[in-house]
Copies of this chain bind each other. A is one copy, B any other.
Amino acid sequence: MSVPGMRRRRGPCRALTEDEILEAALDLLDEGGPHAASVRGIAARVGVAPNAVYTYFPDKAAVIKGLVERLLGGVDHDVFADREQPWRQRVEALALELRAHLSAHPGAVPLMIGGPMNGPQALALNERLLQLLADAGLNPTDAARASYLLIVYVFGSIALEVADVHQAGPLPPESERITTREAAFSATPTEGFPGSAEAAAAMAGYVSTEQYLWGLGRILDGVTARVAPLANLTARGATTDDPEPAEMPGPAGRRGIHSA
């Protein structure tokens, strides 16, 4: 009497689950950096022989893939799914949530951008972003392009940010990282470059939430400028002392793409 779906596999019960393996891998990654997520280390942490991992994943690449999917699946979708809020704030919330969630596991970020993000969670994220931009009034083509632009910006920012700290383990707090960068850049001679001191200060501030949100804001400005030149301004506008609302880019802006 074998229920076709319930048919328990022939052999002995498995000692663990895929999720335990992925969790162990993530823990090792957080503790020891990207180098520490070895099959042997994972197996030792969950208490099995090194090659027992191959019962659950065909090879290490599959473990990494599953790990990335698990990480992407952990982003809180509710923060930006509230369609009552203005869409710009929803995008900002998504970007901040992604950055916070991924920066909490800096060792996993190089593995993420090292391989193709094809998994269901990556597709779901893209899909949600597409819908969000479509809600904002963009046509499907622009929504798709803007979606990828935002993905590139978010993941590129996070990648450059976590790549900037050379030590393993969790990321130091933002202020400490900026201070370290400041010291590093001011120590470098910067042979003959103008304004080395203030340049060091500026480049140190690259890895800040403020820079992150500034770049995101400029991208959203550029995306909305051409599609809805008047309908925005609902979300938080310019934050600095620019007097002009800047309706359209200057005369150089009309130069289009080499459109195929």
CA distance A19 to B247 in the complex (A): 47
Do residues B221 and A172 form an inter-chain contact, with CB atoms below 8 A?
Answer: no
With a cutoff of 8 Å between Cβ atoms, the chain B residues found around residue A34 in the complex are: 114
Taking CB atoms and an 8 Å cut-off, the chain A residues in 2-29 that contact chain B are none
Interface-located stretch among A36-44, A49-57, A69-77, A147-155? A147-155
Number of residues on chain A facing chain B (CB within 8 A): 112
Q: At the interface, yes or no: A115 with Cβ under 8 Å from chain B?
A: yes
Contact of A209 among B140, B170, B254 (CB under 8 A): B254
**A-side interface mostly:** helix
Contact of A195 among B204, B225, B246 (CB under 8 A): B246
Do residues B217 and A219 form an inter-chain contact, with CB atoms below 8 A?
Answer: no
Q: Given A88-B252, A152-B160, A244-B229, check contact A259 B203 (CB 8 Å).
A: no
With a cutoff of 8 Å between Cβ atoms, the chain B residues found around residue A197 in the complex are: 245
Report the minimum CB–CB distance from A260 to chain B (whole Å). 6
Do residues B249 and A209 form an inter-chain contact, with CB atoms below 8 A?
Answer: no
Do residues B226 and A246 form an inter-chain contact, with CB atoms below 8 A?
Answer: yes
Q: At the interface, yes or no: A58 with Cβ under 8 Å from chain B?
A: no
Do residues A163 and B115 form an inter-chain contact, with CB atoms below 8 A?
Answer: yes
CA distance A172 to B257 in the complex (A): 9
CA distance A224 to B226 in the complex (A): 13
1/0 contact string of A100-130 vs chain B (CB within 8 Å): 1001100000100111111010011011001
Residue ID in chain B nearest A225 by CB atoms = B246
Q: At the interface, yes or no: A144 with Cβ under 8 Å from chain B?
A: yes
Q: Given A127-B193, A157-B156, A257-B99, check contact A116 B249 (CB 8 Å).
A: no
CA distance A194 to B218 in the complex (A): 29
- Ordered nearest first, which 8 A-B pairs have the shortest CB separation? A156-B156, A222-B222, A209-B253, A175-B251, A205-B248, A218-B222, A144-B202, A170-B259
7 intermolecular pairs with C-beta atoms under 8 Å apart: A116-B166, A123-B193, A144-B202, A155-B156, A209-B257, A218-B222, A233-B251
